[in-house]
Amino acid sequence: MSTGLQVDSAGRLRHFLDVAGLKRQQLVEIMDTAESFSEVADRSIKKVPLLRGKTVVNLFFEASTRTRTTFELAAKRLSADILNLDVSTSATTKGESLLDTLRNLEAMHADMFVVRHAESGAAHFVARHAAPHVGVINAGDGCHAHPTQAMLDMFTIRRVKGEFTPLTVAIVGDILHSRVARSQIHALNTLGVRAVRVIAPQTLLPPQIEQLGVEVHHDIHEGVRDADVIITLRLQRERMDGRLLPSKHEYFQLYGLTETNLATAKADAIVMHPGPINRGVELDSGTADGPRSVILQQVTHGIAIRMAVISMVMAAHTGETTE
C-alpha cells in the first residue's frame, strides 16, 4: 500500500510513511545521508543552507516532546522554516476537519507535513490528500509505524556494531501496542540481521507475530542470551491498568532489564530505548545509565536521521512549484 505512495517511479522517497515496503538500499541511503549530516553538529555554525525558504509543518495530533523537538531541530539545521502546530488544542477542537486544516496550511505555502496521530494510517491519509508539491513524513501513527524512530535506531546500531548481518537483536516489552517495534522489526529484517527476537508476556504480543520474521520468547533470560542489541520499549501507562498486566512491579520483576538479566547477553551488547524511559519499569537506573546504554546517542542520532529524511523527501519534490 505504502510503496506506490512513498516511492516514485524514479525510486525517490516522495513521502516517508513506513519502513515496510522500502528496500535495503533505500534504508542504507537514509543512513548514509544521516552520516553526512551528523558532522554538522560539530561545527561552530550548526546549520547548512540546503532547505532555505522551505516550510516544514509539525502537525502533531498527539503529544510528543522528543520526536517533535528533534524534527524541529533537524528542520532548523537544514535552514527550513518550521511551524509547530499542536493540533489537538487548536483547529480540530473548533470543529475544522483534517482536510480543511491541510488546505489552509497548503495555502500558507507549506512544503512538508510531519504528522503524528493516534490513529493508524493517519500519515498515509494525509499523504494521499496533500497537494502534489507537499511531502509527508510519518512521525508515528497509532500502533502502526514510527519509521524515523526505527531508522535512528538502525543508525545507532550501525554506528556501534558496523555490520547488521551477524547481529541478534532482542526487543523487550509491549510489542502489541508498539509502532516502534513494528517498524524496527521491518527495518532489522530488511537490513538482514541474523535474528530478531521479541520478549514479552503473551498479553502484549500481537497474534501471529512470528509472521513478521521474529522468534518469540516469554523468558527474558532466554531471550537476551547471546544478543548483541537489546531494545527495551516504553510501557505506556494506560497499559498498566490491570487488564493486560498485573502491576508495574511485577512487570519489572519479569521483564525489566537489569545487570543480572543482561548477564547472558554478549559482553559487548548495547541497550537501547526509544524514550521516555520509566526507571524501575522497563529497566533499572544502573542499566539505563550504564556503559552498555546508548539511549542518549539515540536522541542525538534522531536529529541526523530526521535531517536526512526531510531533505530526501524535499528533494523528491524539486521542480514542483507551490503554484
Partner 1 sequence: MNDPLDASALLDQLTTGLTHWLTESHRPDPLMVGIHTGGAWVAEQLHTRLGFKEPLGRLDIAFYRDDFTRIGMHPLVRPSQLPFEIEGRHLVLVDDVLHTGRTIRAALNELFDYGRPASVALAVLIDRGGRELPIVADVIGTMLELPPEQHIKLSGPEPLALAYVKRGTGRENEH
Decide: is 49 part of the binding site for partner 1 (CB under 8 A). yes
Computed from CA positions of residues 166, 277, 311, 19, in that sequence, does the dihedral angle turn out positive or negative? Answer: positive
Q: Which of 201, 276, 177, 187 is nearest to 229 (CA)?
A: 187
32, 210, 219, 226: which one contacts partner 1 (CB under 8 A)?
32
3, 23, 24, 47: which one contacts partner 1 (CB under 8 A)?
47
1, 3, 4, 43: which one contacts partner 1 (CB under 8 A)?
43
Q: How far is the CB of 43 from partner 1 (least distance, A)?
A: 5
Decide: is 222 part of the binding site for partner 1 (CB under 8 A). no
Q: Which residues pair with 138 in a beta bridge?
A: 115
Q: Which of 231, 116, 112, 127 is nearest to 181 (CA)?
A: 231
Q: Which is nearer to partner 1, 48 or 299 (CB)?
A: 48
Decide: is 44 part of the binding site for partner 1 (CB under 8 A). yes
φ, ψ for residue 201 (rounded to 5)? Answer: -70, 155
Lay out the sheet containing 112-117: strands in order across: 81-86, 55-60, 112-117, 135-141
CA torsion angle for 288, 289, 291, 294 (degrees, to 10)? 60
Decide: is 64 part of the binding site for partner 1 (CB under 8 A). no
Stretch that binds partner 1, among 38-46, 60-68, 99-107, 281-289 (CB under 8 A): 38-46
d(CA 118, CA 89): 14
Decide: is 266 part of the binding site for partner 1 (CB under 8 A). no
Stretch that binds partner 1, among 31-39, 63-71, 205-213, 261-269 (CB under 8 A): 31-39
d(CA 62, CA 208): 28
26, 293, 298, 311: which one contacts partner 1 (CB under 8 A)?
311
The site for partner 1 (CB under 8 A) is made up of 12, 29, 32-33, 35-40, 43-45, 47-51, 311-312, 315-316, 318-319
